[in-house]
Amino acid sequence: MSALLEVRDLRVAFTRRGEPDTVAVDGVSFEVDPGQVVGLVGESGCGKSVTSLAIMRLLPARGVRLTGSVTFDGTDLLTLPEARMRELRGREMSMVFQDPLSSLNPVVPVGLQVTEVLRRHRGMGKEPARREAADLLDRVGIPDPRRRLDSYPHQLSGGMRQRALIAIALACRPRLLIADEPTTALDVTIQAQILDLLGQLVRETGTALVMITHDLGVVAGMCETVNVLYAGRIVERARRHRLFGTPRHPYTHGLLRSIPRLDAPAGEDLAAIGGSVNDNLPWTHACAFAPRCPRSLERCVEVTPDPETAGGRLLRCHNPVPASVE
């Protein structure tokens, strides 16, 4: 089965006159099969959001240098004329963002924001679109959907707004949905509702989902394959049971051990990862994580680790955690 989305060697650099480039995404490659749920995990500054914006061609035209390839169903998105891209966006591929209040137009009622998508991409008339919009709001669990069509975003709670955003994103039954931190701004019980909803809808419609988050718990529950990003590169990729069961990259390993967990004994000190992202080295001639890595060797600060694939796992490390150790 050929992949629905293929990202190859994506590199995104932000340029400023007189300053060296800031490389946000530094050679990211991954695939998403039809109907698959893939996770992109990392902390702030790792490049996950910029990756998603690059895929959707939502980065500004000026000041950005984009190289590599992003293929959607055989079409190269990076060289597509903007008019064609606009047709794809919203219909074949769509996105759900982190902060629903700033992603929804505050001066337009929610209903109109849904019907806009339906009329633009499915050519629906005004009344049929309104009926469909009410249906969609109902499907995402918004109570009293007919009345809600005329509500403004600020009249809805955070959870409701996120549901509305999901309704807009899925209105045209896209084949790919990218969700960038869709529940970070929400309370945990609301988060559980939204993730459950997202999971259900994605299964029902067969939409592929790219889930971008810093929360490893969310990923463990939802994503079949998980990509761990650090400083703009994927440092480990594996199917979720393998990744969580035997994390082999020291960053993944360290991250999992530093999180306070409900199912672990309380009170012992957490195994924190030392230093901060300010200590990173450039990938060009070293491993970015080396200064913070408890397993770093001399080689790590001199030679870039190449990605190696073995047994379905991708690993970018000179000295990974041995497979037999937990």
Chosen residue from 86, 120, 173, 214 binding another protein by CB under 8 A: 214
Chosen residue from 232, 254, 305, 320 binding another protein by CB under 8 A: 254
- Distances in Å between the Cα of 322 and the Cα atoms of 132, 246, 273, 325 are 54, 9, 18, 6
For residue 212, with 0-12 CB atoms within 10 Å meaning exposed, 13-18 middle and 19 or more buried, which class applies? Answer: buried
CA distance 273 to 256: 10
- Residue 249, both tokens: 């990259």
> At 228, which helix (H) or strand (E)?
strand 225-230
Q: List the x/- string, 263-302, binding to another protein by CB under 8 A.
A: x--xx-xxxxxx-xxx------------------------
CA distance 267 to 261: 11
Question: Nearer Cβ to another protein, position 189 or 324?
Answer: 189
Chosen residue from 29, 71, 193, 304 binding another protein by CB under 8 A: 193
Decide: is 215 part of the binding site for another protein (CB under 8 A). yes
Question: Nearer Cβ to another protein, position 189 or 284?
Answer: 189
Q: How far is the CB of 56 from another protein (least distance, A)?
A: 25
Q: What DSSP letter does each residue of 286-312 carry, written as one string?
A: S-TTGGG-TT--GGGGTSPPPPEEETT
Q: How far is the CB of 124 from another protein (least distance, A)?
A: 27
Decide: is 106 part of the binding site for another protein (CB under 8 A). no
Question: Nearer Cβ to another protein, position 145 or 305?
Answer: 145
Report the 10 Å Cβ neighbour count for 215.
17
Question: Nearer Cβ to another protein, position 61 or 272?
Answer: 272
Question: Nearer Cβ to another protein, position 21 or 144?
Answer: 144
Q: List the x/- string, 117-156, binding to another protein by CB under 8 A.
A: ------------------------x-xx--x------xxx
SS3 of residue 148 by DSSP = helix
**Beta pairing class for 19-32 and 37-41:** unpaired
Question: Nearer Cβ to another protein, position 144 or 204?
Answer: 144
CA distance 157 to 154: 7
Interface residue list for another protein (CB under 8 A): 43-44, 141, 143-144, 147, 154-160, 186-193, 195-196, 214-221, 240-241, 244-245, 254-256, 258-263, 266-267, 269-274, 276-278
